[in-house]
Structure 1
Amino acid sequence: PFEKVIRKFPLIEIGADEMGIIEAIDGEPMPPGGIFAADRAQNAHNNFQDPIAFIKRGGVKGIQLRTLPPGLWPIHPYLFRVSVTKTTVIPQGKVGIVTSADGAQLDPGRLLAKSIDNHRNFQDAERFIGAGGQKGPQVDILTPGTYRILTDSTPLEGGGERKPGLFFVRLNDATVIQENQIGLVEALDGATLDPRDYVATQVEGHDNFQDGNEFIGHGGQRGPQKDILLPGTYYINSMLFKIIPESAKEVKPGEVAVIVSNVGKDPSEEVRRAMAAKIRERLEREEQQQVALVAARIDDKDTVAEIKQDLQLNDPADRRLDQGAHEAYVVPAGFRGIQETVVGPGRYYVNTLAVTPIVIPTTNQTVEWTSGEVANTFNPFEVISKDGFTMQLEVRVVFRIKPEDAPFMVAKIGSVDRLIQNVMHPLIDSIFRNQASESSAMAYLQNRHEEQERAEARVRAHLLKYHVDVVNVLICHIHLPEDLMKTQTEKILAEQKQHMFNAQREAEERRIQLERTKAQADNQVKLMEATVGVEIAGKRSEQRKAEGEGEASYILATGKAEAEKVRLMGEAQGVAYAEQVNAIGAQGVALVETLRVIGEKGVRITPDVMSTGGTGDGAGGIGTLLLLNLFRDRLDLVPQGNNGAPVASKQK
């Protein structure tokens, strides 16, 4: 006989933040491959409180998909074991990534399980399994909130191992795109990307990639996505999408961005040919402008024909323009390739997986071949002149790229750095070497301006083919050999000394002239007086000459008259003398004439002192004479009057 033993067990208490996981010890066997048992009784057991109904309705042995909500439950301890798990909490700023431990197999080629409707964020495990939920990472996610999900649990009796749950939830940080950033998106699951495409076809309805099911359902493709994430917070399944933060692109003033699009239609042959024709037209127009500019400045060493030859498109890549196979990569909007329209200054949220912006400066840029330590600097050119001397040239080239030319420059050479390194440096080096070999070293130095103009014309011609506008080509310095410079310096010094001596001589001559002028100015009064005196003397000379001539005429006339008078008087006197001789005789006439002459001339014939003797002494007369002479000398007696009597003068 059977003996019934009644034992009392405590009720099972499930807390408010808990859920109970039931494991049936008896029942129908688990289907092959199954891990969790579906509730075949359709809850006829009233949340496992009626064990008989569970068994009769075909309850399956094992961990049940149906769980116990919070409350007190009379559960048969011999048929069911109860374990408890905490509710799943997804904090703010987090996202729950769910992986299912049971379910159908994933579809071939898929990484994530397909979404199942109405499983209430994985809280209805029975619905999930019953509707065909798949094993593995789930496309659906858990956003911030509290969920009752069948996860790993702990037995209430303690001591046992944790019971595995149907779902495993991993917390990930929400995707945060900071200010001035964008989020590039790469899908890890979806339809296969067309091999001809670099970026997946754009789809709608995925809510910034937060709804993975919509993305997959609308045919979203694996790989880089055209859409981007703008600054903000997003709850995205990291098992489905890889987010790559990237800074927003900023185009500064003085720059443009050339856009290389990886999406759009492939340009047709007509589009390529139309673009090639447009390029040729622009180049021909610019060539004519360059020829007109150069023709006004070239010298006899260059000709317009030579410049035109340099301007010709002789690059094999340029000749392919006729077939539309070179810079036809520059395309109108909507086509894949280098976009004809550039982007001006500003900040742009650009998907660099879909388009590649290439920033091109449009202001003047400088490339130098000098010994300075600055950007875009090369070593000075080492060239050999026509007469065999090695010269070192320091050169500066100023160029710019017009905004409308930027796409074509990118199509032809790629970037400004490649333009400088691969085109400008070897090209300008060759031009200066060729020019230097045509001239002697000293002539090159002396004709520096002309050589600079020639080089600029040729550099312009060549770089025009690369859609580069040359502003200036400047020869900054020419270093000649020291020996040549020494000889030239000595020659110049000698010439300078000669010039100095000539200048000094001219200065001294000017100083003499100045002193002469100054003396003339200082003695202007005297000079005028002398000039007037000369004029007066001249007039006086003329006067005297006239007077002399008049006096000579007068004297001549007077002399003639006097002579005639004397002759007549002589004749008369001769007649008189003859008569006197006849009267008194010749001796009487002579005595009369003698006395007349003595009387007319005042000749004294009476002596001043007369001494006669009277003392009988022979010496008395002489002594008296001496005393009288002494007395006369002291009185300074001088004869006066016609009678010759002495008169005493005043004592000195």
Structure 2
Amino acid sequence: MMWIFSGSVAIAIGLYLFFRHGSASDTGRAAAGPQNPVLALMAGLGRGVIGLGFIALGLLMLANTSFVYVAADQVGHLKRVYAFQELPPGHVVALPGQKGPQATVLGPGFHVIPFVRVLYQIEELPLVDVPEGYYGQVTAVDGAPMPAGMFMAPTIPDDRLAEMLDAESFLRKGGYRGPQETVLKPGSYRLNRYLFDVKVDKDTPATLIPAGHVGVVKSNVATPGVVCREERVTAAPVVGGQATPAVVQVPSSESLSVPLVPRGCVGIWKEPLLPGAFYMNKRAYEVTLVDTRVQTWEFKGGYLKRAVDLSVDQQGNIRQNERSSNEPVPQSAADRAVFVKIEGWDIPIELRVLVQVDPQDAPIVVGSVGGLREIEDRILVPAIRSVVRTVSGSAIRVPVRNADGSLAQPARFEVRSTRVLDLIENREAIEQTIASIIRVEGRKAGVDIREIRLGEPSIPPEILIPRLRQQLADQLSQSYVRETAAQTKRIETEQARATANEQPRLVESQIAVQVAGQREQEREALGRAERKFLEELAKGQMAQAGVLGQDRVAMLQALEKVLLTLERKPEIVGLISRLVPQTVVTSDGSGLSGAAAILGGALSGAQRGGAPAAKP
């Protein structure tokens, strides 16, 4: 108002001075007389110029009230102060022509509106920025009253969102006052902050469904136009060991069931959200993540483990030492080990269970008990413990074996009471029996039991000692047999090595044996020839003795041997020549004298180097 008043006064003064400068000039000339006509003209022109200056100043002051400049990152908001139409009762934001906060906002740049700074109060507010990974939660402070039974305005379709975010369009086209299901996705928005209150903080993150999970939606609002009908749905039953797809049916008294609704209706949606990012208003939707990956539940620890160690000394005596340790329950375990009673013994059994939730069964899991953790704690863990105790402590179906432990042919099976050692010898049969029963229980809860594996049972050592001692004795016996065989083999190896080392001598010995055999045969032949010779010689000597007499024959034989010896060893001749005198013997016809003469002559001739002289 001050700018308008000041501008108007300035214009009035300027007009007065401008229109009065002509008449003032005539008056000045008349008063000055003919002597000063120039001075009078100059005085009139000065008042005209001053008047134009006042007019220009007044127009500038009025123009200053008729334009607005808005920065690029701001939104110009208007509050009308002067108007003939009052704001209707119950409304906060005014339409054009009404007093109060205006629905119209000003964008960036200059805006020329007559007397805008007079008729309105101008306020610049920043843009609405929604960062990545968050959404803007919108509340409208004005609009049509929300219908009964509705606590949140229905979502606005994407093709109408830009139109409805215009405050004037929102008010004229029936936008509802109050919390809006519609959210603002990441980006910048030029909104009327008098109408829309936008919240962006740590409570408005986007809904992220990671890989290996699904999101089960519990909706508090309904989308207009969607036909909603509740359907009672149960988990997929087990048929032939396999789960069939989930079907809409009347649930049995044993299976979990929950009413599910189509997407866009109030209640739990029967279609879960697959992995991805969703900008969903948390005041309208509650999303529960369900892990659809294979989960491992361990039943482990919580008992005293006893064991006996067997050892063998150098003499082959078996010694046993008992030890014990407390097995704690790991923090990651689903529960402690299961205690079963078999043949009067309390035996802790550790086991591992692999479970998985099918995505189509996730709404049933959430709607029935709240989630996989609740299924584990309230339903499956107690059921698994019960089934393991029942199966382990009752009967088992095992293959028939022969007396030597081999499987009977053809294969046959028998059902008998479970024994303690079956936890070791027939563990697979126990696992299969437990799995077949617990799989049915799991499917009732919407969970697929993939596998059950029993761990090493903590069997009392009193049961295992005889078996262990027998096994150790058998192993020792086998060890002795193998050691004996090894020693025999070693001896054979050493013998072969020694034989190889003595091979040259063996060859020489073999050759010597062969030579000795040849010599034996040769001597045998020589002996036979000598015997034959002697026999013939004896015959000749007997004939000679018959002619000459035995004495002369003996003499001749002796002489012959002496001569033969001298022939072989001539050195004896010199010796004999020194012992026997050179005597000339004349034969008297007796025979002995002639032989003596011959011998003496031979000796003499040998000594002198000439032939002996003999006289007949």
TM-score (norm 2): 0.52
Aligned to 1:15: 2
Aligned to 2:493: 514
Shift of 1:511: 1.2
- Aligned counterparts of 2:283 and 2:268: Cα–Cα separation in 1: 15
Shift of 1:415: 2.2
List per-residue Cα deviations over 1:19-69 (Å, max 9, x = no partner).
9xxxxxxxxxxxxxxxxxxxxxxxxxxxxxxxxxxxxxxxxxxxxxxxxxx
Contact 2:299–2:351 (Cα < 8 Å) also in 1: yes
Which amino acid letter does the alignment assign opposite residue 493 of structure 2?
L
Q: Between 421-430 and 445-454, report the one with greater CA deviation.
A: 445-454
Contact 1:185–1:244 (Cα < 8 Å) also in 2: no
Aligned to 2:337: 381
Aligned to 2:589: none
Contact 2:362–2:446 (Cα < 8 Å) also in 1: yes
* Structure 1 residue corresponding to 2:91, chosen from 113, 117, 120: 113
- Aligned counterparts of 1:226 and 1:386: Cα–Cα separation in 2: 61
List per-residue Cα deviations over 1:510-554 (Å, max 9, x = no partner).
21222233334444566677778889999999x899989x979x9
Shift of 1:250: 1.9
List per-residue Cα deviations over 1:237-294 (Å, max 9, x = no partner).
679868475101222333333334442445447xx38x77xx76xx46xx33x36xxx
Secondary structure class of the residue paired with 1:507: helix
Contact 2:209–2:274 (Cα < 8 Å) also in 1: yes
* Structure 1 residue corresponding to 2:212, chosen from 254, 265, 275: 254
Contact 1:385–1:441 (Cα < 8 Å) also in 2: no
Aligned to 2:278: 348
Which amino acid letter does the alignment assign opposite residue 208 of structure 2?
E
Shift of 1:387: 3.4
Aligned to 1:191: 145
The alignment yields a C-alpha RMSD, in angstroms, of 6.1
Shift of 1:90: 12
Residues 467, 389 of structure 1: alpha-carbon distance in 2 compared, 3 angstrom cutoff: same
Aligned to 2:571: none
Which amino acid letter does the alignment assign opposite residue 229 of structure 1?
L
Contact 2:130–2:200 (Cα < 8 Å) also in 1: no
Structure 1 residues 367-378: aligned runs within 5 Å: 367-370=297-300, 376-378=332-334
Secondary structure class of the residue paired with 1:16: helix
Which amino acid letter does the alignment assign opposite residue 422 of structure 1?
R
Structure 1 residues 598-617: aligned runs within 5 Å: 599=555
1:364 aligns with 2:294: yes
Structure 1 residues 280-359: aligned runs within 5 Å: 283=237, 287-288=239-240, 290=241, 320-321=250-251, 329-359=259-289
Secondary structure class of the residue paired with 1:113: coil
Secondary structure class of the residue paired with 2:135: strand
Structure 1 residues 47-126: aligned runs within 5 Å: 92=74, 112-113=90-91, 117-122=95-100
List per-residue Cα deviations over 1:442-496 (Å, max 9, x = no partner).
4413544554455445444443444444454344544444666677666655554
Contact 1:181–1:230 (Cα < 8 Å) also in 2: yes
Contact 1:254–1:345 (Cα < 8 Å) also in 2: yes
Residues 492, 320 of structure 1: alpha-carbon distance in 2 compared, 3 angstrom cutoff: same
Residues 599, 448 of structure 1: alpha-carbon distance in 2 compared, 3 angstrom cutoff: same
Shift of 1:176: 4.9
Residues 527, 174 of structure 1: alpha-carbon distance in 2 compared, 3 angstrom cutoff: same
- Aligned counterparts of 1:96 and 1:430: Cα–Cα separation in 2: 73
Aligned to 2:41: none
Secondary structure class of the residue paired with 1:384: strand
- Aligned counterparts of 1:523 and 1:258: Cα–Cα separation in 2: 90
Aligned to 1:182: 135
Which amino acid letter does the alignment assign opposite residue 15 of structure 1?
M
Residues 385, 373 of structure 1: alpha-carbon distance in 2 compared, 3 angstrom cutoff: closer
- Aligned counterparts of 2:269 and 2:248: Cα–Cα separation in 1: 20
List per-residue Cα deviations over 1:133-162 (Å, max 9, x = no partner).
xxxxx8x668689765799xxxxxxxxxxx
Contact 2:138–2:179 (Cα < 8 Å) also in 1: yes
Which amino acid letter does the alignment assign opposite residue 487 of structure 2?
E
Q: Between 226-235 and 140-149, report the one with greater CA deviation.
A: 140-149
Compare CA radii of gyration and give the structure with the larger one: 1
Residues 634, 202 of structure 1: alpha-carbon distance in 2 compared, 3 angstrom cutoff: closer
List per-residue Cα deviations over 1:168-212 (Å, max 9, x = no partner).
x999988653332112345677535444x6654446878687667
Shift of 1:403: 4.0
Aligned to 2:371: 415
Contact 2:338–2:349 (Cα < 8 Å) also in 1: yes
Aligned to 1:501: 480
Secondary structure class of the residue paired with 1:320: coil
- Aligned counterparts of 1:547 and 1:330: Cα–Cα separation in 2: 125
Secondary structure class of the residue paired with 1:357: strand
Contact 1:385–1:391 (Cα < 8 Å) also in 2: yes
Which amino acid letter does the alignment assign opposite residue 184 of structure 1?
Q
Structure 1 residues 156-555: aligned runs within 5 Å: 176-185=129-138, 191-195=145-149, 199-202=152-155, 224-231=179-186, 232-233=188-189, 235=191, 243=199, 245=201, 246-262=204-220, 263-264=222-223, 265=226, 267-268=228-229, 272=231, 283=237, 287-288=239-240, 290=241, 320-321=250-251, 329-370=259-300, 376-438=332-394, 439-448=418-427, 451-481=430-460, 493-523=472-502
Contact 1:115–1:213 (Cα < 8 Å) also in 2: no
Q: Between 530-539 and 517-526, report the one with greater CA deviation.
A: 530-539
Secondary structure class of the residue paired with 1:247: coil
Which amino acid letter does the alignment assign opposite residue 280 of structure 2?
V
Secondary structure class of the residue paired with 2:216: strand
Shift of 1:497: 4.0
Which amino acid letter does the alignment assign opposite residue 361 of structure 1?
D
Contact 2:130–2:136 (Cα < 8 Å) also in 1: yes
Contact 1:460–1:470 (Cα < 8 Å) also in 2: yes
Secondary structure class of the residue paired with 2:491: helix
- Aligned counterparts of 1:538 and 1:451: Cα–Cα separation in 2: 81
Which amino acid letter does the alignment assign opposite residue 184 of structure 2?
L
Contact 1:191–1:222 (Cα < 8 Å) also in 2: yes
> Percent same amino acid among aligned pairs?
20
Which amino acid letter does the alignment assign opposite residue 226 of structure 1?
E
- Aligned counterparts of 1:461 and 1:544: Cα–Cα separation in 2: 103
TM-score (norm 1): 0.50
- Aligned counterparts of 2:126 and 2:273: Cα–Cα separation in 1: 35
Shift of 1:386: 1.1
- Aligned counterparts of 2:106 and 2:178: Cα–Cα separation in 1: 28
Residues 335, 527 of structure 1: alpha-carbon distance in 2 compared, 3 angstrom cutoff: farther
- Aligned counterparts of 1:94 and 1:179: Cα–Cα separation in 2: 26
Residues 390, 177 of structure 1: alpha-carbon distance in 2 compared, 3 angstrom cutoff: same
Residues 384, 333 of structure 1: alpha-carbon distance in 2 compared, 3 angstrom cutoff: closer
Shift of 1:380: 3.3
Contact 1:383–1:393 (Cα < 8 Å) also in 2: yes
Contact 2:229–2:261 (Cα < 8 Å) also in 1: no
Residues 597, 240 of structure 1: alpha-carbon distance in 2 compared, 3 angstrom cutoff: closer
- Aligned counterparts of 1:171 and 1:373: Cα–Cα separation in 2: 63
Secondary structure class of the residue paired with 2:3: coil
- Aligned counterparts of 2:152 and 2:177: Cα–Cα separation in 1: 9
